[in-house]
Amino acid sequence: MADNYTVRDSTGAVLTIKSKDTGAGVQVPQSVPTNADGTPISQAAPLDVRPGVTRVTFSDRSGTLTATTSTQIAAANAARIGFWVQNLSTTLDLWVNITGTSAVAGPGSILIPPMAVYEIPVTMLTTAAISVIGAIGQTYTAKEC
């Protein structure tokens, strides 16, 4: 015999939780797992386990440094969902600052060694302006989405 539990959630709405009698009057709550859209999982509607894919268009922020001072390569962007920069030099370091302040060749900026790539982790993506500093004539590839 199945008995149902009636409870109130934090907003005061009444919810019914189905249960199943496992024997000797012991009731076990029954839940129906759903996909993200709320569709109950079944053979006709299996659990969607594909990794999320976001289709984006990248904006090119690549360039060549024309000064030995900090150069802003991307403006502040509240809609930013990805950013990476590669130091194309085979011998020179590039420094990047992702906090909206000027890049410096030292503490406070992130070192990108020759031919290395720095990608801002998507779990803590900055919306601030991004700047780099390096040598005159030094090239880099940068992409923003």
pLDDT over threshold 90, residue 105: yes
Convert the pLDDT of each residue in 8-52 to its tens digit: 877 887 777 777 777 777 777 767 676 667 677 777 877 766 667
Q: List, as one string, the DSSP characters of 105-117.
A: SSTTSEEE-TT-E
User: Can you list the alpha helix ranges (DSSP code H) found in 14-125?
Assistant: none
Query: Across all residues in the chain, what is the average pLDDT?
Result: 87
3-class DSSP assignment, residue 29: strand
Q: Any idea where the domains of the chain sit in the sequence?
A: 1-32, 59-144
Give the span between the Cα atoms of 68 and 76, in whole angstroms. Answer: 22
Say whether domain 59-144 belongs to CATH 3.40.50.300: no
CA distances from 102 to 74, 91, 97 (A): 12, 23, 7
Note the pTM of the prediction, 2 decimals.
Answer: 0.65
Tell me, what DSSP letter sits at residue 34?
A: B
How much of the chain, in percent, has pLDDT values that exceed 70? 86
- Output the pLDDT for position 7: 76
pLDDT over threshold 50, residue 1: no
Within 13 A of 47's CA, how many CA atoms are on the CB side?
5
